[in-house]
Amino acid sequence: MRLHALAALALLGCGGPGTLQDDSGEEQPCTDPVLCACPYSDDPVADSDGDGVNDDCDLCPGEDDAVDGDGDGVPDACEDCAGADSDRDGVCDWQDNCFRFANPDQVDSDGDGLGDACDPDAGFCRAPAALTSSGNLDLGQVTAMVPVCADQVAYLDWANNRVVWRDVAAGVDLGEFTAGDRLAGLVVDPLHGRLFAWSTLEDLVYRYDLATAQVTTASTGGSVVDMAWAGDGRLVFLTDDTGVAPALGILDGEAMTVDTLAIDVPNGAVEQLAYDPRRGQVLLNMRGPVIQRWGLNLDGAAATLLEENPAMPMLSVESMALSPDQRWLAVVGADDGELGYHPTNLQNSRTSWSFSGSPVVLGFSPDGGRLAALGYGGAVHVLGVDGDEVFSGSASREDCFSSGERLGWSPDGQALFTLVRCSTEQVSRISWHVLP
């Protein structure tokens, strides 16, 4: 059995000299993470990455030791690729700063952890102007909002069936288009400069090209519940219609073609979707305290249920957020509980956070180092992943009770955008908070 050098080093922390006695009483190297249960550890229950293997004998800290495709006892993430080199550039996915785009040179001009080949800052939003001050934009009924560049935002004008792209620093609209009735959601592809919007009454998704103002549509085959950018020009979405099996969909954002895969979940059960491109998996927030994890092959168009947690320690899951580095899945419950999970282990939380203001929406900063929460009354709080508060403020309107609806970070991580809405007065406010 081949033993990776990193694994050998990890085993030395397994208590004693990192060995176990065989039936004859002779010392043998401890290579099985189950047998090597760290009996000599000062803290035998410490498992910081949540993979079920104690820290003192974790073969691959920060990753899931159970994922061992070739069965050699060395986790895939800590050996030579194990077949995981999606873009075939010679750099393993777990090390690749741009794992869906071939970039063997790994050039990262701005040092943000994303290679230039797939960095949104090197794409449409090249050299954006950073916001220097906070502000508000009061509007009618807005149903969704996403930051585009550091000083720009796009939003859905529900009453007029419009998608509007605005430079908030200059106070001018940069573009708009009219879409179908009941616009419900909006996603941005910052790499290629595209907005995608969908309606709850139409089986259509609209693509708006920011550079050319061209609008293109594609049929989704069902009513879209939620959609997420896959990081490479494609998008993953979920459809759900009464009497029809819910389906995961893959939208090619360039060709505007769609593949759908029926999945075995009840109608009306899914509220939110997150996509983990590094592991090729979809996380579904179900009604009630349930989250499912599905493996999704974007190229082979296949979906497999990997895991379900039907007993999360909260009354219901209000919102979830996956960190951009795919190391954290944050979950907020109706009983004000905020828990952090590893995206490959939904059974045991790794940490918890404590927000005030009854948070209902969560969102990680682009570097994954901060977690923001927007509350029912418009309270805004930002914590470091260590739990220390780094910012607090308010996004509420003074003329009505504001309900937190959406939040998103500017691509440079310097500003937090929020959307609150007053349903009785049918008015909204988009705010941008420049963080210290």
Residue 234 has pLDDT above 90, yes or no: yes
Q: What secondary structure letter does DSSP report for 211?
A: T
Residues in CB range of 239: below 8 A, 6 or more apart: 203, 220, 221, 222, 223, 224, 225, 246, 247, 249, 260
Classify the C-alpha dihedral 61-118-210-178 as positive or negative. Answer: negative
Residue 358 φ/ψ region, left for φ over 0, alpha for ψ in the -120 to 50 degree band, beta for the rest:
left
Residue 130: the pLDDT is 75
Q: What is the pLDDT of residues 113-166, one digit of tens each?
A: 777 777 766 667 765 567 889 999 999 999 999 999 889 999 999 889 999 999
Residue 431 has pLDDT above 80, yes or no: yes
CATH code reported for the domain at 316-436: 2.130.10.10
DSSP 39-76: TT-SSTT--TT-SSS-GGG-SSTTS-TT--TT-SSS-G
Average pLDDT of the segment spanning 250-271: 90
Residue 29: the pLDDT is 56
Residue 40 has pLDDT above 70, yes or no: no
The structural domains of the chain, with segments of one domain joined by +, span: 316-436
368 or 214, which is more confident:
214
Q: How confident is the model at residue 99 (pLDDT cuts 50, 70, 90)?
A: confident
Residue 418 has pLDDT above 60, yes or no: yes
Average pLDDT, the chain: 79
Residue 89 has pLDDT above 70, yes or no: yes
Q: What is the pLDDT of residues 44-54, one digit of tens each?
A: 456 777 776 77
State how far the Cα of 19 lies from the Cα of 341, in Å rounded to an integer.
Answer: 31
334 or 226, which is more confident:
226
35 or 128, which is more confident:
128
Residue 11: the pLDDT is 27
356 or 139, which is more confident:
139
Q: What is the pLDDT of residues 158-194, one digit of tens each?
A: 889 999 999 999 999 999 999 877 888 999 998 889 9
> Please, what's the b/e burial string for 271-285 (b: 16 or more CB within 10 A of its CB; e: otherwise)?
bbbbbbbbbbbbbbb
Q: What is the pLDDT of residues 304-313, one digit of tens each?
A: 999 887 655 5
